[in-house]
Amino acid sequence: MATLRARLTVAYGVALVGSVAVFSGALYVARRASSIDELGLVAFDEGDRALRFLVAAKREGKELTEERPCGEKRDSRCVYATKDMRDLLERVPGYFLVYDRDDRQIYSSIGIRQLAEEDRSAIDQSAVRLTPDGAGALVSLSDTLFGGSLLLGARKDPALLPNVTRVVAGVPTHIATLSPGILVGTMVLIFPFIILASIGVAYVIAGSAAEPVERLINEVEAITDGRSLHRRLPSDLGNEELSRLGSTLNAMIERLETSFGALRRFTADASHELKTPLTVLRADVERAMHPATKNTERLQALEEALHETARMSDLVDSLLTLARADEGRFDLHREPVALGPLVRDVYETAVILGEHAGQTVTMSVLEEAMVDGDARRLRQLFLNLVTNAIKYTPRGGRVELSLSRRAGDEVAFTVRDSGIGISAADLPYVFDRFWRADRARSRGGERSGFGLGLAISQWIAQAHGGRITAQSRLGRGSVFTVILPQLAVEAPPDRAQERELKNIGN
């Protein structure tokens, strides 16, 4: 595959040769047309010179023409050039013809007479049609000495009327074609050098334009080897487009770095969370299997092993949920869900959990609202928040639930507790995976958790087109709010109108 530099140079070369060829062609045609115009004036000058001789002779009183019977026909009379006129014009060089009142040629110059018969008659045919001082005519000649053609122009002088009506003079076009010829020659000689020099310059320019691209490729290659994602591309890459590409790539590398970091953290956290219960499980099984262990201790060990297995199973379930959510493979079984009954149900469970934990659970507002969602997932989301509130609230504390409609067709489910709260520094991380305010203490105790509940809750809220927010103050309690879009409910049919319609039907 050709390099960008080579392709740019070739493209430039082709474009240059093409434009030079078109330019030269146009110049040649224009030059030739203007040469022919100039040649027309020369033809007029030649004609005028012959006319001047004739007019001067006439003024001297010389007879230039005479009338005699036309050849054999005795009854008609024709105009002929006198000997005086012929002698006079023989001394005038060039190509010209003199015509009488009947458009008959009465004299042709020596130059014309030396031409081949067919050329003479071709000239005569064109000359007859020319009007004095009007447009000229180009006559092709067989004699190549003349550059292929003769340009004719007609002139007249009132002093010579009525017998001599015009003098037609001709100029060989090779006089004019000389300069376009030189032009073409110059072009052929000079243009190869110009083209070669331009292609050389183009090659150098293309090289310097491609150099930052080359540099960018090397930098990107160095960064994407997998271990250097912390590195960034230079912000100034020589031109605006490349600098924009550089900053776009930088943004992409930053996102990659973040997701790789998150992936690494996630794997490390998941293995860490699994490692501890597995170690406990192993110790319990070993204890149970030891011959010296008493039966009661064995049962205790097995019970503990069962507990750890259940914990691991929960963790694997949560991990699976998040992995599927990340892949976008998680099916939500959406249907219209009445949130009122769902929240009432969650509240009843919360009351039982609260009783066990020695807390007062209340429901301050319960408004009916419909959402388009997965009832099972929404229940999981609400229960997560409720169990967290109970878990992180000491005995004697209060947990308050509410479900209220909001402006903008939204519905808010709020869980407020008077618990331990979360510090302002920790609050931004509560929805992160495996994040726990106090990792060391949360394991094994009654607050044991993996730090995945809120991450899953956030995903469920977002999958329903909603969001979840947290407000908290350390030692004062927390407020978690889920906001979901309400389902637009069709107006219930008008019963009276329905009855009326029925009657019409009967």
What residues line the site for ligand ADP (CB under 6 A)?
A: 388-389, 392, 417, 419-422, 430, 435-437, 442, 449-455, 478
Please state the closest distance from residue 442 (CB atom) to ligand ADP, in A. Answer: 5
- For residue 494, the tally of other CB atoms under 10 A from its CB is 10
Pick between residue 357 and residue 437 the one whose CB is nearest to ligand ADP: 437
| Residue closer to ligand ADP (CB basis): 5 or 416 | 416
By beta-carbon distance, which residue lies closest to ligand ADP? Answer: 449
Q: Are 50 and 98 in contact (CB under 8 A)?
A: yes
Q: How far is the CB of 341 from ligand ADP (least distance, A)?
A: 24
Q: Which is nearer to ligand ADP, 219 or 269 (CB)?
A: 269
> What is the residue type of 331?
D
Nearest-approach distance from CB 233 to ligand ADP, in angstroms: 37
The least CB distance from residue 327 to ligand ADP, in Å, is: 21
Which DSSP symbol is given to 228?
A: -
The tokens of 457 are what? 């809750």
Q: For ligand ADP, which is the closer residue by CB, 139 or 422?
A: 422
Rounded least distance, CB 301 to ligand ADP, Å: 26
Q: Report residue 169: phi and psi, to 5°.
A: -110, 150
Q: To the nearest whole angstrom, how small is the minimum distance from the Cβ of residue 435 to ligand ADP? A: 6
Minimum CB separation of residue 336 from ligand ADP in Å reads 28
Least distance between ligand ADP and beta carbon 216 (Å): 42
Q: Closest CB to ligand ADP among 127 and 454? A: 454
Closest CA to 125 of 94, 97, 146, 145: 97
Distance CA 251, CA 257 (A): 10
Minimum distance from residue 286 beta carbon to ligand ADP (Å):
28
Burial of 64 (0-12, 13-18, 19+ CB in 10 A): buried
Instruction: Return d(Cα 448, Cα 436) in angstroms, integer.
Output: 10
3-state secondary structure of 396: coil
In the bound state with ligand ADP, the residue whose beta carbon lies nearer, of 164 and 468, is 468
The smaller minimum CB distance to ligand ADP, of residues 298 and 443, is found at 443
We find the least distance from the C-beta atom of residue 402 to ligand ADP, in angstroms, to be 15
Q: Given the DSSP bridges, would you call strands 105-108 and 360-366 parallel, antiparallel or unpaired?
A: unpaired
Closest CB 303 distance from ligand ADP, rounded Å: 22
DSSP conformation class of 486:
P
Judge contact between 94 and 46, C-beta under 8 A. Answer: yes
Task: List the end-to-end C-alpha distance of the chain, in Å, as a whole number.
Answer: 83
Which distant-in-sequence residues (6+ apart) come within 8 Å of 376 by Cβ? 333
Calculate the CA dihedral of residues 10, 15, 17, 20 and round it to 10 degrees.
-160
Residue 64 vs 455, nearer CB to ligand ADP: 455
Q: How far is CA 279 from CA 102, 286, 294, in A?
A: 132, 11, 21
Query: Which CA distances in Å does 405 have to 38, 233, 367, 385, 422?
Result: 94, 50, 7, 19, 27
Residue closer to ligand ADP by CB (options 119, 417) is 417
For residue 495, how many C-alpha atoms fall within 13 Å in the half-sphere facing its CB?
0
CB contact at 8 A, 4 and 210: yes
- H or E element at residue 101: none
The Cα 109–Cα 357 span in angstroms is 135
CB nearer to ligand ADP: give 58 or 391.
391
- Cα separation values, 460 from 146, 449, 453, 455, 468, Å: 97, 19, 11, 9, 9
Residue number with CB closer to ligand ADP (209 or 479): 479
Nearest one of 81, 152, 80, 78 to 111, comparing CA atoms: 152
If the CB atoms of residues 43 and 390 are measured against ligand ADP, the closer one turns out to be 390
